[in-house]
C-alpha cells in the first residue's frame, strides 16, 4: 500500500482522501489544526504549520511521496530534503516558476503563452501607457480573491499601494472578458498528458460562485486551451494535476489568467461528472498508476460553491437537506466549524440531462436561493 503525504489539510486534501480509499492508498496529512477537513479521513496526521520544515521531514519518514494541497510552500526549506532523496510530486523545480505571480507571468510569457500586460510594482511607477481600470495582485499567498484588487483610478491605486506597504505586488491590465474559463490537466511520470473538459467559471467578488460544465465554446477555442495546457505541463515536466484559469474576450482572444499547481476548485465537478475525478487522477499520476479517463460520464453539470455569508458557528443541516433533495444533486460539506463571508464551506454538483447553459444557470439560482436565503 502506497502512503502519500499531503502538505495541507483543507477540503482539497479531504477530497483526495476519499479518492485514496479507491486506490489502496493512505494519506498522511501535515496541517495545523485538529479541526481541518482532512484530519478525520487521513490515515495519520502531523499537527504542524504547513511551512514547518521539521514536520515535513517527519512526513517524509512516513510516506513514499509528498504532494501539496496549496501554494503556501517554502521551497528553500524543502530543497535540502529533495536533494537527500525525498520524492515531491509535483517536483520543486516544477513549482519554482509558479508560486510568485510575477515569476509565473514571466514564465508563461517566455513559453509564448498569451497573458495580460503586466509589470512588477517596485520603485517609481510610470503609468504613461496604462489606462484604468487596472489590476493589482500580491505576488504570493493570494487566494479566493484575497490579494487581488481591481482599481478604477489613480487615487484608488495609490490607496491600495499604501495598504500593501512592502508586500511585493504586480500591476496588470484589466481584461474586459466575455467569459472566464478553466481547465484541469494532468501529467504522469511517463509524460502522458490528459485534459479535462473545459468549463466556464463565474466569480463574484473575485471568488468562484459556480462552474458550468462543459463550457459552451467553439472547437477552436477548446483546442487552443488544450494546447496551452500541454505546452505548460510538458515544459515544466509536471507530475500531478494543475488548474489553468483563462479569459475569453468578445473578439475571441484567449489569455491565461493564473495557474494553480494543484487540484482546483474549478475541477470539483469531476467527482460526480467524470469517469476519473481530479483527486483520483492526481493520486494516480504521483503514485505511477495508469492515467484515468477524464471524460464526462454525463451530458453536463453545474457546480455551485457554498460560501459563508455570515459570521457564525453551525452545520446548516436543514439547508443541506433541501439542497440534497434537488434531482441529480450531490452535496459536499467540508466540516468547517466556523463560517465567515466568502469562506468555502462546501459545494453542490447537479448533473444535467442536457448541456444547456440556461438550465445550468437556473439550477444554480435555485441552489443559491436555498443557501443564501436566511
Q: What is the DSSP string of 270-298?
A: HHHHBSS-HHHHHHHHHTTPPPPP--BSS
Q: Which CATH superfamily is domain 117-173 in?
A: ATP-grasp fold, A domain (3.30.1490.20)
Tens of pLDDT, residue by residue over 4-40, are: 999 999 999 999 999 999 999 999 999 999 999 999 9
Q: What is the domain partition of the chain in residue ranges?
A: 2-88, 117-173, 179-372
Mean pLDDT rounded to a whole number for the chain: 95
Q: Cα dist. 183→160, 225, 318, 327 in Å?
A: 31, 8, 33, 26
The pLDDT value given to residue 338: 92
| CA-atom Rg of the chain in angstroms | 20
Tens of pLDDT, residue by residue over 207-245, are: 999 999 999 999 999 999 999 999 999 999 999 999 999
Tens of pLDDT, residue by residue over 33-85, are: 999 999 999 999 999 999 999 999 999 999 999 999 998 889 999 999 999 99
Tens of pLDDT, residue by residue over 339-348, are: 999 999 999 9
370 confidence band (pLDDT: 50, 70, 90): very high
Q: Give CA–CA dist 195/296, Å, rounded.
A: 11
Decide if 70 contacts 6 (C-beta within 8 A): no
CATH topology for 2-88 is Rossmann fold (3.40.50)
Joined together, the cell numbers standing for residue 230 give 500541454
Please state, as a whole number, how many other Cβ atoms lie within 10 Å of the Cβ of residue 146.
11
The pLDDT value given to residue 357: 93
Residue 312 neighbours by CB under 8 Å, 6+ apart: 338, 339
Q: Rounded to 5 degrees, what angle do the CA atoms 339, 340, 345 make? A: 50
Identify the CATH class of 179-372: alpha beta
Q: Is the pLDDT of residue 337 over 90?
A: no
Tens of pLDDT, residue by residue over 272-317, are: 999 999 999 999 999 999 999 999 999 999 999 999 999 999 999 9
Amino acid at each position: 500500500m502506497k502512503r502519500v503525504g499531503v502538505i495541507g489539510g483543507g477540503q482539497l486534501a479531504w477530497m483526495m482522501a476519499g479518492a485514496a480509499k479507491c486506490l489502496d492508498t493512505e494519506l498522511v496529512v501535515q496541517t495545523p489544526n485538529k479541526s481541518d477537513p482532512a484530519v478525520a479521513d487521513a490515515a495519520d496526521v502531523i499537527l504542524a504549520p504547513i511551512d514547518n520544515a521539521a514536520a515535513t521531514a517527519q512526513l517524509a519518514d512516513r510516506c513514499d511521496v509528498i504532494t501539496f494541497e496549496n501554494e503556501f510552500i517554502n521551497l528553500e526549506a524543502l530543497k535540502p530534503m529533495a536533494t537527500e532523496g525525498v520524492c515531491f510530486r509535483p517536483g520543486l523545480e516544477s513549482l519554482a516558476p509558479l508560486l510568485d505571480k510575477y515569476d509565473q507571468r514571466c514564465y508563461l510569457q517566455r513559453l509564448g503563452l498569451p497573458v495580460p500586460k503586466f509589470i512588477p510594482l517596485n520603485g517609481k511607477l510610470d503609468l504613461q501607457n496604462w489606462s484604468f481600470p487596472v489590476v493589482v495582485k500580491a505576488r504570493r499567498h493570494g487566494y479566493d480573491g484575497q490579494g487581488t484588487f481591481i482599481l478604477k483610478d489613480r487615487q484608488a491605486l495609490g490607496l491600495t499601494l499604501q495598504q500593501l506597504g512592502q508586500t511585493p505586488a504586480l500591476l496588470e491590465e484589466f481584461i474586459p472578458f466575455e467569459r472566464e474559463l478553466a481547465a484541469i490537466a494532468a501529467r504522469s511520470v511517463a509524460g502522458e498528458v490528459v485534459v479535462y473538459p473545459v468549463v466556464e467559471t463565474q466569480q463574484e467578488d473575485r471568488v468562484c460562485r459556480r462552474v458550468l460544465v462543459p463550457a459552451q465554446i467553439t472547437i477552436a477555442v477548446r483546442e487552443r486551451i488544450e494546447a496551452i495546457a500541454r505546452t505548460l505541463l510538458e515544459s515544466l515536466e509536471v507530475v500531478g494535476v494543475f488548474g489553468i484559469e483563462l479569459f475569453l474576450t468578445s473578439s475571441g482572444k484567449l489569455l491565461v489568467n493564473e495557474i494553480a499547481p494543484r487540484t482546483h476548485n474549478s475541477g470539483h465537478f469531476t467527482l460526480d461528472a467524470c469517469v476519473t475525478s481530479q483527486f483520483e487522477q492526481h493520486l494516480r499520476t504521483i503514485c505511477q498508476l495508469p492515467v484515468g479517463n477524464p471524460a464526462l460520464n454525463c451530458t453536463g453539470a453545474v457546480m455551485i460553491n457554498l460560501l459563508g455569508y455570515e459570521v457564525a458557528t453551525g452545520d446548516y443541516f436543514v439547508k443541506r437537506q433541501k439542497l440534497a433533495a434537488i434531482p441529480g444533486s450531490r452535496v459536499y460539506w467540508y466540516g468547517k466549524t466556523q463560517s465567515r463571508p466568502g469562506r468555502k464551506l462546501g459545494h453542490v454538483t447537479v448533473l444535467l440531462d442536457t448541456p444547456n447553459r440556461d438550465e445550468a444557470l437556473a439550477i444554480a439560482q435555485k441552489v443559491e436561493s436555498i443557501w443564501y436565503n436566511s
